[in-house]
Structure 1
Amino acid sequence: MRVPFVKMHGLGNDFVVLDGREAALPTLDAALVRALADRHSGIGCDQLIALDPSTRADFAMRIFNADGGEVEACGNATRAVGLLHGAAATIATAGGLLTVTPDEGGITVDMGAPRFDWDAIPLQYPMDTLAMPVGWEDLEEPVAVNIGNPHAVFFVPDCDAVELDRLGPLIEHDPLFPERVNVNVATVTDRDSIRLRVWERGAGLTLACGTGACATAVAAMRRGLTERQVVVTLPGGDLSVAWQAGGTIRMTGPAAESFRGHFDTAHFGA
C-alpha cells in the first residue's frame, strides 16, 4: 500500500501527518508507527498524526508517540494540522474537542479547560496537585495538570541546569503516575515570561511541547508567579499562552510544512 504523508513541525517538534479524511489509511499498529518514526530507517518524527473523518467535529486526529503508544493530546501537532487544513476547524481528539484558528500570530488553538483533580491527572492516590508532596532529587513539589494528557511541572532556578535526560524517564515511569507523565522543568523569568524544557512521555527530550507550555503556564498562574498571559520560551522557540481561571486555554504559535512524500507499507513489514 502506497501512502502519502506530510512532514511538518511546530517549533522543531516534528510530525509525520497521514491524511485519511478522504482515503483509507493503513492499520497503525505500534510496530508500524515505530518504524515510520525511526530517524535512521524511517521518515523520522516525534509523533505520527492520523487524520480521520468525524461525525462530531470537522475531522478527527489520532496522535502516536515515537514509541508507538497512542496519546490524547499534542498542542504543536494541533497547530500543524490547523496549518494543513488552512481554515478554522473543530478537531476531535481522545483528549476532547479542540478548535484551531489561523491568525497573524500563527495558529491559535483552544486547548480546552485544564483539570487539576488528582484522579483526573491521574495520580495513584489523592494529594494536593498544586504542590505535590513528592520529589526526585532536587526536583520537588511539582504542580500536576491535565491538558488532555498528564503533566508534572517543576519550577527551578535554572531549567537548563537540570539533568532532564536522566531524571525525565525516572519521573515519567514512576508508579505515582499510572498513565506515565510529561515532565516539565521551568524557570519564571518575569511576570509574563517563562523558560521551559520538557521530557515528553513516550518521546523523550523535545524541542517544543505545546501541552507542556500550556500546563506550565497554567501552573505558574495558579501559583501566582505570572500574569494571565505569558510567553513560554522552549528550545525550539516561543509560544503565547493565555488562561483565565475557570476558562479554556488559548495557545498561539507557528507551524510549518517541511516536505511531502510517499511510503510503501511493504517496506515496513505492514
Structure 2
Amino acid sequence: MKTKFYKYQGAGNDFILIDHTHAPLENIDNQLIENLCHRRFGVGADGLMFVTRHEEYDFEMHYFNADGKLGSMCGNGGRCIVAFAKHLGIIEKETNFLAVDGSHYARISESGEWVDLQMIDVSIIDRDDEAYVLNTGSPHYVTIQDNLKDFDVFNEGKNIRYNQTYSEKGINVNFVEDHGDHLFVRTYERGVEDETYACGTGVTAVAMAMAKHKNQTGHITTNIKVLGGDIKIEFDYDGSTFSNVFLCGPAKLVFEGEID
C-alpha cells in the first residue's frame, strides 16, 4: 500500500507529515518512522507527524522524533502541522488543536507560510550552575556562550544531554549568544541526537531564560536567529509566570511524494 507524505520545514527544522484523518492511529511501526527520517536511506527529517481527527478540536498532532520514538511537544513541528492542516482544508485562518502537552491556538497567514503558535504558560525555571532549565512543552537547558558561530555544539551539547543529571530522560541543550537586537541560538536536540537548524520549544525557552537573566518584565518581543532563519517569540512576563506565549515563524511545504 502506498501512503502519501508531505515534507515541510520551519526555519530549517524539517518534518514528514501524513494525513491520517481517515482512520484511528494504530499499530505504529517505530522502526519504519526512524528509517523514513534517515537522511541517507529515507526521506530525511527531524521528525514525523500524523494528523488525526479529534471530536473536541480541529485536529490532533502526533509527533515522533527522528529515532522513531513518540516525542514531546515540538514547536516548529506544531507550526508546520498548522500549515499542513490549512493545506488539507481542515482549517482556514486560525485553529485550536491538541498536542501531547495540551491544547494549542494558532493563527496562519493567508499564504499559509507564516504561523503564530501559542505555547504553554511557564512559571518554573530552575538553575543548573550558570544554566537555566525549564519546560516549554519539552525540557530545555539554556546556557550563554560566546563565539557561538565557531562553538562545537554537537559534542558539547551531547555531553550535557548524556551527563549524569539528564541521561535517563534526556534534555535539549540550547546555546545562546546575545547580539543586542537579536539572540543567536544553536540547539542539540534529544531524539534527533544532533544539532538541528532550529528548535521551536528551544528558542521559546531561550527567550524566557534571557528575560529572566536580564530581569525584564512586561510584554516582551524577542528576535532570534537560528541556522535555518529567523524566528520571533512574544510573551508577557510578570516576574513569576510567562503567559500569552507565541512562537512565530515560517512553515513551508518543500515537496510531496509517496512511500510504500
Same fold flag (TM > 0.5): yes
Q: TM-score, normalised by structure 2?
A: 0.88
Conservation of the 8 A alpha-carbon contact between 1:78 and 1:100: no
Shift of 1:154: 0.4
Conservation of the 8 A alpha-carbon contact between 1:46 and 1:66: yes
The residue type equivalent to 1:182 in the other structure is: N
Within the candidate set 195, 200, 222, 1:230 is matched to 222
CA distance in 1, matches of 2:204, 2:99: 17
Q: Percent identity, aligned pairs only?
A: 28
Cα deviation code 1:66-111 (max 9, x no counterpart): 1112112111111111112222111211112111101378110001
Cα deviation code 1:131-154 (max 9, x no counterpart): 322xxxxxxx11011011100000
Q: Secondary structure at the match of 1:215?
A: helix
Within the candidate set 202, 205, 209, 2:195 is matched to 205
Shift of 1:165: 1.0
Q: Secondary structure at the match of 1:22?
A: coil
CA distance in 1, matches of 2:27, 2:255: 23
CA distance in 2, matches of 1:232, 1:56: 34
Structure 2 residue aligned with 1:242: 234
CA distance in 2, matches of 1:34, 1:28: 11
Structure 1 residue aligned with 2:121: 113
Cα deviation code 1:44-78 (max 9, x no counterpart): 11110111112332111111111112112111111
CA distance in 1, matches of 2:28, 2:22: 17
CA distance in 1, matches of 2:123, 2:172: 15
The residue type equivalent to 2:108 in the other structure is: P
Aligned length: 244
Tell me the C-alpha RMSD between the 2 structures.
1.8
Q: Is the aligned partner of 1:99 residue 2:105?
A: yes
Q: Secondary structure at the match of 1:186?
A: strand
Find runs of 4+ consecutive structure 1 residues off by over 6 angstroms: none
Q: How does 1:84-233 map to 2 (within 5 A)?
A: 84-86=84-86, 87=92, 88-103=94-109, 106-116=114-124, 129=126, 131-133=127-129, 141-177=130-166, 178-190=168-180, 192-203=181-192, 204-224=194-214, 228-233=220-225
Structure 1 residue aligned with 2:89: none
Q: TM-score, normalised by structure 1?
A: 0.85
Cα deviation code 1:215-269 (max 9, x no counterpart): 10010011117671110100110101011123131111111001111111xxxxx
Q: Secondary structure at the match of 2:155?
A: helix
Shift of 1:206: 0.6
Structure 2 residue aligned with 1:40: 40
Structure 2 residue aligned with 1:136: none
Structure 1 unmatched runs, 5+: 118-128, 134-140, 265-270
Conservation of the 8 A alpha-carbon contact between 1:51 and 1:59: yes
The worse-fitting range, judged by mean Cα deviation, of 175-184 and 220-229 is 220-229
Shift of 1:158: 2.2
Structure 2 residue aligned with 1:29: 29
CA distance in 2, matches of 1:24, 1:261: 22
Structure 2 unmatched runs, 5+: 87-91
